[in-house]
Amino acid sequence: MLFTYRANISTVDGKTAPSQASPATPEAGRGISPATAAATAMPTASSPGPSYASSVDAPAYWPMTGDRQIDATHNALNQLIQRGSTNDESQLLSALRNIFYKPIFRHIYEDRPGPALFTFCRAQLLLQAYVGNFTSPDVRRRMIDATQNLISLQDQEGQLYGPAFKRARQCDLHGQTLQEYTPNLPPLQSSRLEDGAVDKAMQTLNRLGANLHEINLMD
């Protein structure tokens, strides 16, 4: 599948700037059309999805989220977009690495549940947006595997909120900012995962780290 970058810019005082039009859908707010989102959704038990399942369109501008490290990532990506350099793989990897410096990628208890879930959501969206920019099949496979790890982590951490937590809906509808994401979570049912669930989450984090390390997205 070829990656398609769709610019959505306007001109202000003779300079190009990101469009400020309000999105009609959550997917549009991330630069993702509903049709593309449906066609490229990650596979689930009830919906296997396509074999190349984790590529979506990148927006013309990454918004600020209220999380310092995520915003540093978005700023770095916005600079690449402004320069037209998102196909420079080394620069793109350098920009994406910023989010994976967060301590939550080392241990599941390094952040509170709400911000941790938000971080996993945003990291998933970033990898999905840029997987198609890399020419190496191995890099793409590792990014797809890492995306699935991030989805699993949301499902695992989401157990703290009980069955009312719907990972895809939460990320799609409320994943634009931290201030929107956390208040819209269901009531917390437990403050800590059970021991077995902690072990599974740590195993997922280790698999994620291994995938990211292989493509220079994590030390």
- Condensed to tens digits (0 to 9), the pLDDT of residues 84-103 reads 999 999 999 999 999 999 99
Q: Which residues pair with 18 in a beta bridge?
A: 9
Q: Are 219 and 120 in contact (CB under 8 A)?
A: no
SS3 15: strand
- Check pLDDT > 70 for residue 143: yes
Summarize the confidence of residues 166-192 as an average pLDDT.
96
Which pLDDT tens digit goes with each residue over 37-74? 443 344 333 333 333 345 678 899 999 999 999 999 99
Q: What is the pTM of this model?
A: 0.76
Residue 116 main-chain phi, psi, to 5 deg: -65, -45
- Check pLDDT > 80 for residue 122: yes
Q: Are 181 and 119 in contact (CB under 8 A)?
A: no
In this structure, which amino acid lies at residue 35?
A: A
Counting residues of the chain whose pLDDT is more than 90, the rounded percentage is 73
